[in-house]
Structures are given as structure tokens and as C-alpha cells.
Amino acid sequence: MPSLTHAEAITRAELIHDLDYELDFDLTGSRTFRATTVLRFRAATPGAETFVELLPTRVISATLNGELLEGFDDGRLVLRDLAETNEVVVVAEYDYSNTGEGLHRFVDPADGNVYVYAQPSIAEAPRFMACFDQPDLKAPVTLRVTCDPKWIVRANGEGTATAPGRWEFEQTKPLATYLITLIAGPYHEVRTEHDGIPMGLFARAAFAAHLENDAEEIFEITRACLDRYHELFGVRMPFGKYDQAFVPEFSWGAMEFPGLVVFRDELIFHAAVTDTERLDRAAIIAHEMAHMWFGDLVTMRWWDDLWLNESFATYMGYRMVAEVTAWPQSWTRFGVNRKTFGYAADQRPSTHPIAPKLVTDVDAAFANFDSISYAKGCSSLRQLVAWLGDEAFFTGLKAHFEKHAWGNATLDDLLESLSASSGRDLSEWARVWLRTPQVNTLTPVVTWDDAGRFASVAVRQTASAEFPTLRPHRIGIGWFDETGVWQRTEVDIDPAADGGLTPVPQLTGVFGRGLLLNDGDLTFAKIRLDERSRADLPSLLVDQPDSLARALMWNSAFDAVRDGEWPGDEMIRAAAVALPHETEVAVFESVFQLLRSHVATQFVAADRQDAAVRQLGEACRAAMTVAEPGSSRQLAAARSFISCLDSISEARAWLAGVGLPDGLVVDSELRWSLLLRLGVLGDVSDAELDAALAADQSARGVESATKIRAARPDAAAKAAAFEIIVSDRTLSNRQLAATAAGFWRPEHAELTDPYVGRFFAEIGATAQWRAGQLLNLIGEAAYPTYAVAPSTVEAADRMIAAGGLHPMLERVIVDETDDMRRAVVAQARWA
């Protein structure tokens, strides 16, 4: 189906008015389902022509105002000679999906139960209905469903079972097509009510006990966030009920369907978890809830404002978690995790403005669904709030919601409301922050006197030659005073006034150690450490009492490693000293992941990588030793330690429950982690995997076993896994991703090197049967990340130069190759 263009969407929006949908699904089939779509609308120009999108396996019948329609081709059904008022009726048969797009069908290996859910994504609604698939043609939806009588069905609106296996739902408020959903199956349900709002939780039957265990924490977060949003936005939750469903094989973290938010069901915990995982779940809950107002009540007019939906929800999500939940350190997690990905994305070839002036079509919109739209946009909003203040920001938001409720709005509409509430013209701020790409670097320029005091301090702001924009920043600057107390001052950086070098006179004559720019993390900018702080980094990380400040130091070090300015070994040495002392689990886990997945295996020279991994493992062992038995800190250290293990005997002992630290239990998650490490070390047989899978027949077990089979250092295992990556058309999105994640291992370079060239030669053809979202997922997971060599870059460049790639896959390859190029340069420089 051709990608809908902005020009086509404008033309259609001018023509179509007073639209509503009736949907009737028959879900009794096992491979396909039948859907009847009725569209009623008024045409502004009688006699005009337009089209609806649909992607069925076959059209059974299609009529316009009672007349049979012809002209269905490549996902578009042409509507000619429109009347003033029109009714289109399309009866079609569709395939169920196994990729998390369209109407996804899942058979639980644990009990054979079948579950269905709708995921329209950005452009997948035509896989289950006929529609005008663009965000500014919002319409009420009336839904009916026929299914297995043992199933329950939930959707955006309230519904009831009118007969065994027959469900009918009330007409919804106006919804964009990308926000229409349903779930159907023998879901387990937990219900409550808060402030007059009915609330439900749903998960598959095999997860019933785990859902019951987690329900009160989820409800507690939901209640607290609802109350705070009501207070801040001045509008009650707009969609009547607030259900949250945790569904299998969901491709995204979650999706903000009004009245029925859908999450990936890994967020229902089956084993011991760390505080970081609980914080992340809370942030996702708060993020999706924010969309009820920003995205669902007021919807973007076109996909160029997709960033605004996601940036706003990300900002509000982390803010809510900090304000009203048990995890006030949420901004630390954002800073050391999500923001790191934002910095990387903004420096790749695919960088783009947060708010592009034009998104030409839907494919281009999907390509911009990235860490710039989430993390950088969130940071920009945080900077804006720091500049305007809470009162002006939320006063403007209330006016925005009131003016555009149930309709569509643009960035300019929001800026108009915020300018009115703050009394400031935001056009220049929007130009430099939202309309120009790339990131600035802030570097301290420091001199000291003989007593260790600052003789002078200034902040130099620089930008890349390709994107030379300097921006205003409000930042904190922190330092240790002579008594060891952490101090902080605020500075406004204004390149229009200081030309890129901002003096900080209030620090002249002040004793200072460990100077840190952007203390408090209010802006989006790369920061550098001064020469003394760099040399003192390991002890600064140990002495620093503020977890967010430690996160910023780690970010600065990692960015310097990515840029080739520091050797990766230097960051590894800092970790060996500091990680055993790290008390904030979110910092420990995030930093360890950067070190294990990137620094030690990509930026450290190949002949020193094994030693770097061993250093990380010993740091984790030390962290386990000092952690309280049974604590989240101990669990995080243990998981990290397992990923570094090079001793088969020690891994086997742990698997048998021998030699474990006091308080640590080998539950299902740790067991699969140990089996994965043993698989990488070549000590797991097919028989042992079969037995492990027989003991854990969950989808999680299937995915774990799939990953382990691909991770073994065996030529036949690698050949089978690669064939799945480049040829399979039947496995689910999760099993494909698990195979790709298991295949490339830095320990197995000799086995996998022959597949580097084959990957670039063969992965492009998978676009013939894989949709864009899956191409993106597999392209990233299966990229030969650990084959750091000029030959890998050359093979990738040949693939890109040949052309003909699907846009989503091309972007992944271009960006991953840019990361590879950085690693090649860094290894050569510090060899």
C-alpha cells in the first residue's frame, strides 16, 4: 500500500466531515477473521472522489450508498462521485497477525489459550478495518464483536455481552484510527474504582496469580497519577473508564488507547525484580495516562507533531513518578538511560529536528519515531518548564485543552497558548530548540589558584560544523566545597549575549572539586569534565551523594568514549572502582549495560575486551558482597555478574543453588540467565534446553530457549539461526527478535564473521514479507554490532549505496553503521 502523503491527507480532510464508524468483527476463525466496516460521512464537495485504506486478504463486498464499488488496488478503495451524505459498507476477510501489528493472535504455549488484540500502530488500522487512516479525521466508533463464548472482550468504550459470544460497545468519543483497539480472549481481570472512574487490569490466564500480586501496586500508581493529572490539567480523565491490559508479544512498551491502555505483558512480573524495573513500569503507566489528554483528547493534526505527543508524555511520565510514587529518583533513571539514547540518536546521520517542518508521508513519520522524539523532546520540554515556570506552563496547557478538546491541534497552537500564559514570545525558542537538529556541547573553561580555588570559570558552548546552532540553556553547576558538601548555582547561557563563552563570576575565588555542568539535568547538551575532574572521576563517583549527578558524570564519560576522546579502558577502570559503591540501582544497571554492551565489547580494542569484561564481572562480584541480602541492589549485581561469567563450573554451581550469595534465589528469570551464559560458553545441550522448556512452557520460556539456541558456539546452531533471521516468515516478532539477539556474540567472532557479509547482502530482501516495524526491530537486533572492523563498515556502505532498501531498514543500517564507524575509529586510536 502506498504511504499516505501529507498532501493527500490535507485534501481528504478538507473533503470529509461528520465521520463515524461502525465495526463488526467475527473472531471465530483460527487463521483469518471477518470485519464489517460502515463509514458514514458528509462530503464538502458532492461529486468529488477520495479513497479509504484497507489491507484484507479478500474483499467480500464493498458499497457506496448502496452501489457496488470497484477500483480496489494496493490497499486503497476508490470512492467516486460522492453524495452530500454517504455510507460506505465494506465486508472483508483479514489475516491475523503474529508481528504485533493489525489484529494480533497469540496461542499461549502454557495452556493453549488464544488471545487477540488490535494494534493499529501508525498505519496498521487497515489490517482490520476500512478507514480514512489519518489523525485529523477523528470519529466516534461503535463496535460489535462475535467470538468464543468463553472469551471476554474489552475496547475503548464500555461494552456488555448481549448473548454468549456476542459483545456490543457504546459509541466512543471521537478517536483517531491509530487509537482504536480491542482485546479478546480468556483474560484474567482485576477491577476497582477510583474517584468515580472504573478501572480494570487484564492479563492472560496463565498470568493470573502474577497479575493478582502486582495489581495493588499498579492501581496505587494509577490512582496517584490520575489525581495529580486532574490537579495539573484541570480536566478529568476524558474517557469514562481506565482499563489497562497486559498482552502477549506486544511490539512496543505500551500504547495509549483511550479507555483501554495496552502494555507488553513482561510488565507483569513473574520473578524477583529490581527497583529499576518497578520504576520503569510506573513511568510507562504515567506516560500512557498523560496521552489521555495530550494525544487522545487533543490529537495532532499530522504526524509532524508526533514528537509532541511522545515528548509531552515522557516528560509528564517521569515527572509524575518523581512526584507521586515511591521512586523519586525517576529523573536519574531518565538521565542515565533514555537520555543517553537521545544523545546518540541526535548525532547520527538520521538526526532530524524535534519538530520537523514537514513530514512528507506516513513512512517518514514512522522513521521519526525515535529517541529524538522521546528523550530529546522530553528534555527540551523540561528546559522550557525551567524557563517559563510551572504556573505559566500549566495555565497554558489548560487553555490548550479547553480550546482544542476532541479535535486536533498543532505545535503552533500549543505555543500560542503558552505564549499567552507566560507573556513571552516563544517563536525564537522554538526555532533553535525544536526546528534545528543536533546537540550542543558544554565544556568548562577553568583556571585554579595555588590554593585550589577557582581563579576563573566559564562555560564554552560549541556545535557541530554541519549544524552550527547555539542555543540558550538554563543549567545548574555543581561542585564540592572545602568541607566536602555539594553546592550548586544556576547559570543562564545566552549565545546571543556571550557568543558561546559564558563567564561564571560567582565561582571566582571559591574552592571547588569535581565541577559538574548541567547539575540537575535541566537541559539537553553533551557535557565535558575539566582536566582535574576527569583525573579524579573514580573517587568523585564514590564521594558524590546525588545519584543524578553521578548519572551525569557517567554520561559525560560515555559520550567522550563514543566520540573517541577517551579510551574505553579508562571508563572500565572507573567502573571497577565506583560500581561496587553504587547504591542507586538505576545507575548501576544502566551504566553496567552501557559498559557491557558497548564500551567493553565495541570501544575497547579486541585484544583487551576479555580483560575488560572480567573487570566488570569482578566489580559486580564486589557489589554483591556489600549489598544487603535479598535486596534490589544485590539482584542487579547478580544479574550483571552472570552476564560476565567465564567459569562454567561457577555458573553450574549457581544453577544448582550452590555458592550463591546469602539472600539470592535462582528463580525462573535467573535460571534462564544462567542457561544463556552457559549456552554462550558452549555448555548447554539440546536435551537440557528441552527439559528447561518443559519446566517453563511460558512464552518467556520459549523466547529464552530460542535465544539460547542461537547463542551457542556451534556452527550448526549459527547456521540455523541466521536462516531464521533472513528467511523465516512464520515465527512471531518476539521469537525473531530473540534469535537475532542470540546470534551475534563477541565471544564467537570466528564463527560469525562469515555471516557479516551475508547479513548485508540478504537482510534487505526480507522487506518483501516483513512490515516496517518488524524490519526496524530485526534490522537493529540482527546488525553485526560486535564485528568491529573496517570491512564491516565497507560491507554496510556497499549495501546502502546499492539503494532499493525499505526506508525503515535503510535508516537502521545507516545509523548502526555510523555507530560501527565510531567504534572502529576509537579502537584504532586507542589500540
507 burial (CB, 10 Å; 0-12 / 13-18 / 19+) is buried
Q: What are phi and psi of 55, to 5 degrees?
A: -130, 65
Sign (positive or negative) of CA dihedral 781, 782, 783, 788: positive
CA distance 223 to 241: 13
Pick the closest to residue 367 from 287, 304, 432, 302 (CA basis): 304
- Catalytically active residues, by annotation: 288
Cβ pair 47, 82 in contact under 8 A: yes
Q: At residue 600, what is the residue type? A: A
Q: How far apart are CA 246 and CA 467, in angstroms?
A: 42
As given in the structure block, the three cell numbers for residue 478 are 555543581
d(CA 197, CA 238): 10
Instruction: Judge whether 110 and 117 are in contact, CB under 8 Å.
Output: no
CA atoms of 166 and 56, how far apart (whole Å): 23
Q: Are residues 300 and 355 in contact, defined by beta-carbon separation less than 8 angstroms?
A: no
Q: Which amino acid is at 646?
A: D
**What DSSP character marks residue 662?**
T
Type of residue at 556: S
Contacts of 467 (CB under 8 A, 6+ apart): 351, 436, 437, 438
**Count of helices and strands (H, E) across the chain:** 31, 29
How far is Cα 220 from Cα 227, in angstroms, rounded to an integer? 11
Q: Which residue has the cell 465494506?
A: 90
Asked if 474 contacts 492 with a C-beta cutoff of 8 angstroms, the reply is yes
- What count of Cα atoms within 13 Å lies in the side-chain half-sphere of residue 606? 12
E strand or H helix at 808, and its extent?
Answer: helix 807-829
Calculate the CA dihedral of residues 125, 130, 133, 137 and round it to 10 degrees. Answer: -120
Q: Which grid cell sits at 490? A: 544556576
Residue that has been written with the C-alpha cell 511522545 in this structure: 310
Dihedral, 12, 14, 18, 22 alpha carbons, nearest 10 = 10
For cell 564554552, name the residue. Answer: 460
Identify the DSSP state of 97: B
Q: In sequence order, which ranges of 23-88 are alpha helices (DSSP H)?
A: none
- Specify the DSSP class assigned to residue 174: P
The conformation of residue 29, written as its DSSP 8-state character, comes to -
Q: Residue 25 burial by CB count (10 A; 0-12/13-18/19+): exposed, middle or buried?
A: buried
Q: Can you point out the beta strands (E) in 636-743?
A: none
* Spatial separation of the C-alpha atoms in residues 703 and 418, rounded to whole Å: 47
Alpha-helix residue ranges (DSSP H) falling in 375-480: 377-388, 390-404, 411-422, 427-434
CA angle 104, 122, 189 (to 5 degrees): 45
Q: Which of 763, 753, 755, 770 is nearest to 799 (CA)?
A: 763
Burial-class residue 711 by CB neighbours within 10 Å (0-12, 13-18, 19+).
buried
- Report CA torsion sign: 397, 400, 405, 406: negative
Rg (CA), the chain: 27
Q: Which three cell numbers stand for residue 311?
A: 515528548
